[in-house]
């Protein structure tokens, strides 16, 4: 196991990060906000699936607005659940690959930067 980023050791460059998402069996997203009382959607919730990686994430309240938990991303509720899910998905490669593929397809269909920019321009009445 390796951890990267602020507070975890060295930060990865962009290309290193993409390679890590691709070669990791499980990409763990703790999704902590600056205020630890809150869990929030962050870039990793989209970056990992966009790279075709498998995402195991904490559960912000609005995750289901973007992905179907258990079908497109794996979700843990507490540290014990996280460990159990890590063990499960390490031992169930086919399931892990199915979930990653479903998340990739959803991301390409609904969650690219083009989708976000189109929504912003539409809301501003520019398209």
Structure tokens at 3: 């951890």
pTM here?
Answer: 0.85
Unique residue bearing structure tokens 């060295």? 10
Report the C-alpha dihedral over residues 64, 116, 113, 54, rounded to 10 degrees: 0
pLDDT for the residue numbered 35:
61
Query: What does each C-alpha distance from 22 to 1, 10, 47, 86, 118 come to in angstroms?
Result: 15, 19, 11, 17, 28
Q: Torsion-angle region of residue 70: left (phi > 0), alpha (psi -120 to 50) or beta?
A: left
What is the structure's pLDDT at 96?
Answer: 97
What pLDDT does 116 receive? 85
Show the domains of the chain with their CATH numbers.
14-123 (3.40.50.2000)
Q: Kindly state the tokens that stand for 77.
A: 């509720």
- So what's the pLDDT on residue 38? 67
Token output for 23: 């070669």
**Rounded Cα–Cα distance for residues 50 and 61 (Å):** 21
Along the 127 residues of the chain, how does pLDDT read in single tens digits? 788 877 777 889 999 999 999 999 999 988 765 566 667 788 889 999 999 999 999 988 889 999 999 999 999 999 999 999 999 999 999 999 999 999 999 999 999 888 889 889 989 988 7
Nearest to 32, CA basis, from 62, 13, 58: 58
* pLDDT attached to residue 34: 58
Q: Is 30 left (phi over 0), alpha (psi -120 to 50) or beta?
A: alpha
- Reading the block at residue 91, the tokens are 């031992």
- What was the pLDDT predicted at 37? 67
**What's the confidence (pLDDT) of residue 36?**
62
- What's the Cα-to-Cα distance from 119 to each of 49, 109, 115, rounded to whole Å? 20, 14, 6
């Amino acid at each position: 196991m390796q951890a990267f980023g602020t507070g975890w050791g060295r930060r990865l460059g962009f290309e290193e990060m993409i390679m890590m998402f691709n070669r990791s069996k499980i990409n763990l997203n703790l999704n902590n906000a600056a205020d630890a009382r809150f869990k929030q959607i962050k870039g990793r919730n989209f970056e990992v699936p966009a790279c075709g990686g498998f995402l195991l994430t904490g559960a912000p309240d609005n995750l289901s607005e973007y992905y179907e938990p258990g079908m497109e991303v794996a979700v843990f509720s507490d540290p014990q659940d996280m460990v159990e899910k890590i063990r499960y998905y390490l031992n169930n490669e086919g399931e892990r690959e199915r979930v990653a593929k479903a998340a990739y397809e959803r991301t390409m269909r609904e969650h690219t930067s083009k989708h976000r920019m189109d929504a912003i321009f539409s809301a501003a009445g520019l398209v």
